[in-house]
Amino acid sequence: MSDFNKILTPGDYNNGIVNVVVEIPEGSNHKIEWNRELAVFQLDRVEPEIFAKPTNYGFIPQTLDEDGDELDALIITDQPLTTGIFLEAKVIGVMKFVDDGEVDDKVVVVPADDRNTGDAIETLADLPKQLIKQIEFHFNHYKDLKKPGTTTVESWGDVEEAKKVIAESITRWNEM
């Protein structure tokens, strides 16, 4: 089997490590999405600048959330990441989220090898409380100018809850 036939896996989520593909850099108001059928990144829309992403945004490959898209990930780094790269990431929690009545959870991750922070972030509790508030505010309001009240952050879950969401999304992908 040649190296060209390899496929990016979800990673070793049981041990808290996942592969994540970056769609949207932190600070961008471009809604970039992976188009599974065409195997390319696509600009879906341009959001108002006030709703630029508070974190890098991406997905875990070979997963499928209840909304029919790959399982989303919020990637916490000190600088924006480029669309299209992937990284090994450490799972630190999950944001339980509903968008237009559909479950659209977001796994929260940090780089698995972050020598800048000394790998100090292990759980959501290690993040600044203000960052959690900003993320929650963003996702509760980013559609307000077009469709008010259609998004809701329901709760935050720990690493074990995130692993459960990932496992269910892998099962959904494999059954697709």
* Binding site, annotated residues for Mg(2+): 67, 72, 104
- CA separation for the pair 47, 59 (Å, rounded): 19
For residues 53-71, b (16+ Cβ closer than 10 Å) or e, as one string?
Answer: bbbbbbbbbbbbbebebbb
Q: Which residue numbers belong to the known binding site?
A: 31, 45, 57, 67, 72, 104, 142
Per DSSP (E only), the strands in 47-129 are 56-60, 71-75, 86-99, 102-103, 106-111
Q: Which residue numbers belong to the known binding site for substrate?
A: 31, 45, 57, 142
